[in-house]
Structure 1
Amino acid sequence: MEKVDKPAVRWVEISAEQAGQRIDNFLLRLLKGVPKSRIYRLLRKGEVRVNRSRARPEYRLQSGDEVRIPPVRVAAPGEAAVPSSHTLQRLGEAILYEDERLLVLNKPAGMAVHGGSGVSLGVIEGLRALRPQAPFLELVHRLDRDTSGCLLIAKRRSELRTLHELLRAGRVDKRYLLLVKGDWRQGPHKISAPLRKNLLQGGERMVRVDPQGKPAQTDFGFLELYPDASLMEAELRTGRTHQIRVHAAYAGHPLAGDEKYGNLDFNRRMRGMGLKRLFLHAHFVAFHDAERDRNIQVSAPLSDDLRNLIQQFEQLPDKGRNTR
């Protein structure tokens, strides 16, 4: 019988490039294939040590820190899911912008940003397979699986830190296009309603407006009126799960194709016009990096299916249509 080597304790010294990240995020990246619940259990039990002391999940690593990594079995290379050539081609064609620090992807709808929760692999795993020589590729933020559009990927640890600081300060301009039910020319367009996550039977994640929830604000802007539908633009002032979808439904204008928070009759009508997905697209992202004196602005075009739906609406009789 072949002898299998047991994992051993490791000590990792944190470099300047690795400094600044939370210990839990560091472990999640280092211990690929280890469930998140296992990572937090290791921290809670004190099996992970920083400079020989216990560390809370929110501890931010410093350059020179020594991190004790306990014996944990990670997925062997042969056990990892391998993206298909078609997936790699899609991701390669979806790159909108790239420089030595940053990559911006037009994420396809239906593709998760990372593996987990029943998904074998996502965008970030696919990009790492597409760029095996890249020393660092990490998600800056997330998009829901059903949402398409601009997704920021850091190619350096320092870029990840910079963009996280800009996001926390509200200095990243992210805008979404969405199609909603009804005439939303009149307000309210600034929705400020706290959101709270709930788990229903079967483990389905739902988000509700709840006074006990976390503060959330979305600014909606009217673009175009169609028969019983409005094309809108949304800007996030906070970044809560399903925020745009829940706030739009709360305002009485659920998104087209939203099977979780939407309107059954409206969705049925949209399917009849060929819509097979959520109409939510991150169409624009911009930020100014003062430290490096760089301005980044990237736009993501609508996919063919969303553009075809808009073209169908534009060909309908002009009954009450109005642009801003």
Structure 2
Amino acid sequence: MEQINHLVRILEVTQENAQQRIDNFLRLQLKGVPKSMIYRIVRKGEVRVNKKRIKADYKLQSGDLVRIPPVHVDKDNPLPSPKLNVIAQLESLIVYEDDALIILNKPPGLAVHGGSGLDFGAIEALRSLRPEARFLELVHRLDRATSGCLLIAKKRSMLRALHEQLRSKTMNKQYLALVKGSWDKSWRSVKEPLLKNAQNSIVKVSSEGKASETRFKIMQRYQGATLVEASPVTGRTHQIRVHTACKGHNIAGDDRYGDDAFSAEMKKLGLNRLFLHAAHITFYHPVLEKQMTVSAPLCERLSSLLEKLQRS
């Protein structure tokens, strides 16, 4: 059994890490430590910034002094075996790769990282597939049930550049979602504020929530359903799922915010997952010095469902 030991450290935040959330900063500093443990030491006040307690969403400022407590954790297998089928299959799902970046068409059911009872996620799987890579970090996240474009930086400079694009909202993401009923063409934007329950991670529309916006475009109407393109302006948890549900157009296969009857109808046609797919992502590649749009194709199950709906 391997033991991971991190001693107490006090780090000064540089301009490179300014505006990064403290939880993401700690994940980079505490390699191999489960996410649940990182959130626990923040919640208990063991992590201090400028000698004060902070919350997990605190954004670091240049010059901040961060105290990272000693952390000890036992870990049987640092990385999963690349020979596991679920990991080996990821190789064919890489839709773009260069010396600085990987873009994965993440399959549904695979979390972006391990923890909370999961042995591994997409980032651990890719580290297993690319053992020679000295740096592999998630640029952003996707819900476990959501498929599609997931960006992984292979260089710290790329990670910083893409994080800045996320903060400045110059990175654009388009999702495809199959929703119940006929989407009203006047609903080009939904701006309901969203509040997340810290206990169960359920998100609801609330005046006490954070400002949120998702833009919508109708792609195709079907009998009893609409395929919409959803472009989130903000990046709240479950944002697209809640914004569609609050309008009465729940996403097919959504086990949290869905409509049971609609999901059951789609299940009869072969859908056994959430119909939410990160289809396109547009960003500026700082190494190639150009704007790029990368697409991830729908899986066969989603494409097959649309064909059946078209015939009906």
> TM-score per shorter chain, which class?
0.7 to 0.9
User: Aligned residue for 1:134?
Assistant: 133
Q: Which residue of 2 aligns with 1:247?
A: 243
Distance change >3 Å, CA 89–CA 243, structure 1 → 2:
same
- Residue 59 of structure 1 and its aligned partner are, at CA, apart by 3.0
Equivalent position amino acid for 1:252 in 2: G
Task: Mark the CA change 1:135 to 1:233 in structure 2 (over 3 Å): closer, same or farther.
Answer: same
Query: Partner residue of 1:224?
Result: 220
Q: How many residues align?
A: 303
Specify the SS of the correspondent of 1:74: strand
Pairwise mapping of residues 130-169 of structure 1 onto structure 2 (< 5 A)?
A: 130-169=129-168
For 1:147, the aligned partner's letter is T
In the other structure, the counterpart of 1:115 is: 114
> Does 1:282 find its partner at 2:283?
no
1:75 matches 2:68: no
1:69 Cα shift? 5.2
Task: Indicate if the aligned counterparts of 1:282 and 1:300 stay in contact, CA closer than 8 A.
Answer: yes
Amino acid at match of 1:269: E
- d(CA) in 1 for partners of 2:99, 2:213: 33
Q: Deviations over 1:5-48 (max 9, x none)?
A: 99574658889897545554333233222412343157x346x6
Task: Quote the Cα distance in structure 2 between the aligned partners of 1:8 and 1:93.
Answer: 36
Deviates further, 21-30 or 135-144:
21-30
1:209 to partner: Cα distance = 0.5
Distance 1:66 1:212, change over 3 A: closer
User: Does 2:38 align with 1:40?
Assistant: no
Q: Given that residues 128 and 137 in structure 1 are in contact (C-alpha distance below 8 angstroms), is that contact kept between their aligned partners in structure 2?
A: yes
d(CA) in 1 for partners of 2:225, 2:297? 21
Q: Which residue does the alignment assign to 1:261?
A: 257
Q: Give the % identical residues.
A: 44
1:182 paired to 2:184 = no
Which of 234, 238, 258 is the aligned partner of 1:238? 234
Report the Cα distance in structure 1 between the residues aligned to 2:238 and 2:263, rounded to whole angstroms: 18
Instruction: Identify if the C-alpha distance between structure 1 residues 224 and 290 changes in structure 2 by more than 3 Å, giving closer, same or farther.
Output: same
Aligned residue number for residue 204 of structure 2 = 208
Shift of 1:61: 6.3
Q: Secondary structure at the match of 2:74?
A: coil
Gaps of 5+ in 2: none
Q: Do the aligned partners of 2:13 and 2:60 also contact (CA within 8 Å) in 1?
A: no
- Scaled by the length of structure 2, the TM-score of the pair is 0.86
The 10-residue stretch of structure 1 (215-224 or 20-29) with the greater mean CA deviation from structure 2 = 20-29
The answer as to whether partners of 2:13 and 2:61 remain within 8 angstroms in 1 is no
Higher mean C-alpha deviation, range 8-17 or range 161-170: 8-17
| 1:63-108 deviation line (CA, Å, top 9, x unaligned) | xx997654321334x3446255212212111100011111110000
* Superposition map of 1:6-85 within 5 A: 9=7, 19-20=17-18, 21=20, 24-31=23-30, 32-34=32-34, 35-40=37-42, 44-45=45-46, 58-60=59-61, 70-76=69-75, 78-80=76-78, 82-83=80-81, 85=84
- Mapped contact 2:11–2:67 kept (Cα < 8 A): no
Q: Distance in 1 between matches of 2:296 and 2:3?
A: 48
Q: Is the contact made by 2:194 and 2:204 (CA closer than 8 Å) also made in structure 1?
A: yes
1:132–1:229 distance in 2 versus 1, CA, 3 Å: same
Shift of 1:225: 1.0
1:244 shift after superposition: 0.6
Q: Secondary structure at the match of 2:182?
A: coil
- Greater C-alpha Rg: 1
Asked whether the equivalents of residues 136 and 155 of structure 1 are also in contact (C-alpha less than 8 Å), the reply is yes
> What SS does the aligned partner of 2:307 have?
helix
C-alpha spacing 1:292/1:79, structure 2 compared with 1 (3 Å) = closer
Contact 2:205–2:242, Cα closer than 8 Å, also in 1: yes
Distance 1:156 1:17, change over 3 A: farther
Q: What residue in structure 2 maps to residue 100 of structure 1?
A: 99
Letter in 1 for 2:156: R
Match of 2:301 in 1: 305
CA offset at residue 118 of structure 1?
A: 2.1
Say which SS state the counterpart of residue 171 (structure 1) adopts.
coil
Q: Is the Cα contact below 8 Å between 1:181 and 1:254 reproduced in 2?
A: yes
**In structure 1, C-alpha distance between the alignment counterparts of 2:94 and 2:292, rounded to whole Å:** 15
The letter of the residue matching 1:39 is I
Query: Is this contact kept in 2: 1:273–1:309, CA < 8 A?
Result: yes
Relative to structure 1, the CA distance from residue 16 to residue 196 in structure 2 (aligned partners, 3 Å threshold; closer, same or farther) is closer
Q: Are 1:33 and 1:75, in contact at CA under 8 Å, matched by a contact in 2?
A: no
The answer to whether the Cα contact below 8 Å between 1:140 and 1:160 also exists between their aligned partners in 2 is: yes
> How much does 1:188 deviate?
1.9
Asked if the contact 2:79/2:125 (under 8 Å) is kept, the reply is: no
Contact 1:17 1:158 in 2 (8 A): no
Q: Distance in 2 between matches of 1:275 and 1:16?
A: 48
Q: 1:239-280, CA deviations, whole angstroms, 9 ceiling, x for partnerless residues?
A: 111111111111111111111111111111001000000000
